[in-house]
Structure formats: structure tokens, C-alpha cells
Amino acid sequence: MRYLFVLMGMVIIASSCSTMKSSSSTAPVSPQQVEKKSSSPEFIQTISIKGKQSIDAPPLVKSAGSVNTGQVDKSSIELASPVLLKYAILMNAPVEELNNDKLINFIDEWYGTKYRLGGEDKNGVDCSAFVQSFMESLYEIEVPRTSKEQYAQSQRIKKCQLNEGDLVFFHTKGKGKSVSHVGVYLRNNKFIHASSSGGVMISDLDEDYFTKRYVGSGRYK
């Protein structure tokens, strides 16, 4: 747990388009290592998500009149469940900001689900089917089945305009620029997707692999 406190204390959140940079310490992934590594620190993968505590407790918020000094709110950490701590690290966010229980529960239910082309459930899922489930479950928005269709029917937005629930698209097959992969943006340059090698996971847009293959971003209203 000591390591968690140190990492939580290093959270940096960019607030403008011109300065939006990842504060993740993850090493870049080269094209030769296509989706071979998780974007999360190795020890995070050992945090058990079985028998997890409920996170339906009241959201963790700062007390009235408190001053934000940029330091870790130790009281929030002590009250947080292991699940909240895990995703606070994976999303590089303060624990007290993760107050969307529905979002965290959904991510935790799917996290680690293996990839299966054409799959649409927790026995195996591909990237576009995972996005379909994410958008419908959390926002009651129906999106097309394939990543190409999801890209074509979404509203184009700039990378610096990304908000939670926006989609990010990539070309991952050959030298073409055709969309073949999609994920859902979370925060702090992090997005969740069904990786062909690692299953449902959280990655960083600034990883070398994704930077080179980024096609664009889309939004559904």
C-alpha cells in the first residue's frame, strides 16, 4: 500500500488543449511490441479484483472549505476500496475524483476479459462490441457494430477536446489508414479498449504504438 500512496501523490492533471500531456510513467510500446504489454505498472496487475468490496458507498469528496494543495488526501485513501485505488492508479487520478460508481463497476466487471474476434460477451469480446456495450450500458447510446461504422457515424472532435465517453480510433492492420480498432476515452489521456493481445485493458494515448496509429476521435450525443 505504501507504493500506492507515493504514486497517488504524483498525479498531474492537464487542464487545457495546448498542455494535455500524459503523466503516466509507462514505458512506450514499440511497433514490434504491438499491444504486448499493459499500460499499467506491473504490480497493479496483481491487485485482486475477486471478492472486491462494494463501491456503492457515498462518493469520496473533499470537505467543505478544504484547500487543494495538490497533496494526497490520506483520509480518502484510507476510506477507498481496493477497487477504487486500483483504477485511480490506472487512470492516474485522485481517488476522490472517481465518484462515478456505475463507470467504475462496469470497468471492473469487464477488465481482463479476453479478446475474441466477433465476441460480444464476457467469454470473449472484440473492440467494437466492447464499445457497444460500454456506450449502451453507461450512456444509453446505441452505436454501430464495427469500428469503421462507429467512426463514420460519430461527430469528429479534436484530440484535445476528448471527454469521458468519447471514442478514439486507430489503424492497426498493415500500412493503410483505415480504422480497425476503437476504444473509449476515460480521462488523463487514458482509454479503455479490448486489445487483441491483452483483452479489456486501460492504455495511454501517448504510448508510441497508439500515437503512430491514431486516426481520430469521435463523439456521440
Residues annotated as part of the active site: 127, 181, 193
Size of the chain in residues: 221
Q: Give CA–CA dist 51/175, Å, rounded.
A: 44
Q: Do 128 and 42 meet the contact criterion of CB atoms below 8 Å apart?
A: no
Q: Do 221 and 163 meet the contact criterion of CB atoms below 8 Å apart?
A: no
Cα separation of the two ends of the chain: 40
Cell matching residue 13? 492533471
Instruction: Using alpha carbons, list the distances in angstroms from residue 221 to 139, 151, 173, 189.
Output: 9, 14, 29, 21
